[in-house]
Amino acid sequence: MIRQFALFLAAFLTLAPAVAQPSPSSVPADVRVALETSAGRILVAVHIAKAPVTAANFLRYVDQKRLDGTQFYRSVGTVDYGFVQGGAQNDPKRILPPIRHEPTTQTGLTHDDGALSMARYAPGSATGDFFIVLGRMPGMDAHPEATGDNQGFAVFAHVVEGMDVVKAILVAPKSATAGEGVMKGQMLEQPVKILSARRIP
């Protein structure tokens, strides 16, 4: 009898942390944002519960209409693998202060198909530029065991509709001369305009 009680108590204590967690209804749901572009609509789910700092930053750009009139300007990869990059392009009239870096080891999010992630230089330098992944790019996740800059990029959302539009941007013609450094040859010949970015129900 004592042994059975001890096993019950151990099982209860194992479950106790889960009981203490917030109920699913108290955790904020994803926020949906529609990016209306000159190539079509891209609908994304912004993961405010999993990546609160990065998601809130993106939503500030949306709510303040700072992404309206920006563009997707960079494309790297082939038909089903790579990424497209867009956003404020460091325009001083659009960008907000940089945010704290949220690595994938902290959020549990990964650079899988349709992931939106923040463009950056050093960790903590991200502002208003982001990229959308096609395929899986685990090399962009944080890798604490690696040397050098091992913090990866901060995933904060996923495409839920409009991957066909993202694929069209990925394979659009690129300029052979535009861009500097590693970006040379990766800039779109005709950037795709982001007409508006708005929250939707």
Delimit the domains of the chain by residue range.
27-200
pLDDT at residue 18, rounded to an integer: 34
Cα–Cα distance, 196 to 128 (Å, whole number):
14
Confidence of residue 10 (pLDDT cuts 50, 70, 90): very low
HSE toward the beta carbon, residue 157, CA cutoff 13 A: 26
Tokens read off for 34: 């529609």
Distance of CA 21 to the CA centre of its chain: 26
Cα–Cα distance, 70 to 67 (Å, whole number):
5
* Mean pLDDT computed over 39-60: 98
Beta bridge partner(s), residue 70? 194
* Mean pLDDT computed over 6-17: 32
Q: Does domain 27-200 have CATH number 3.40.30.10?
A: no
Cα–Cα distance, 81 to 171 (Å, whole number):
10
Quick check: 159 and 112 in contact, CB under 8 A?
no
pLDDT of 117 > 60? The answer is yes
- Burial string for 135-171 (b: 16+ CB within 10 Å, else e) reads eebeebbbbeeeeeeebbbbbbbbbeebbebbeebbe
Cα–Cα distance, 73 to 6 (Å, whole number):
62
* Mean pLDDT computed over 180-194: 93
Q: 127-157, pLDDT tens digit by residue? A: 999 999 999 999 999 999 999 999 999 999 9
Q: How many residues does the chain have?
A: 201
pLDDT at residue 3, rounded to an integer: 37
pLDDT at residue 15, rounded to an integer: 33
Quick check: 194 and 69 in contact, CB under 8 A?
yes
Confidence of residue 28 (pLDDT cuts 50, 70, 90): low
Mean pLDDT for all residues in the chain: 88
Q: 96-106, pLDDT tens digit by residue? A: 999 999 999 99
Confidence of residue 13 (pLDDT cuts 50, 70, 90): very low
Tokens read off for 136: 């899986």
pLDDT at residue 11, rounded to an integer: 32
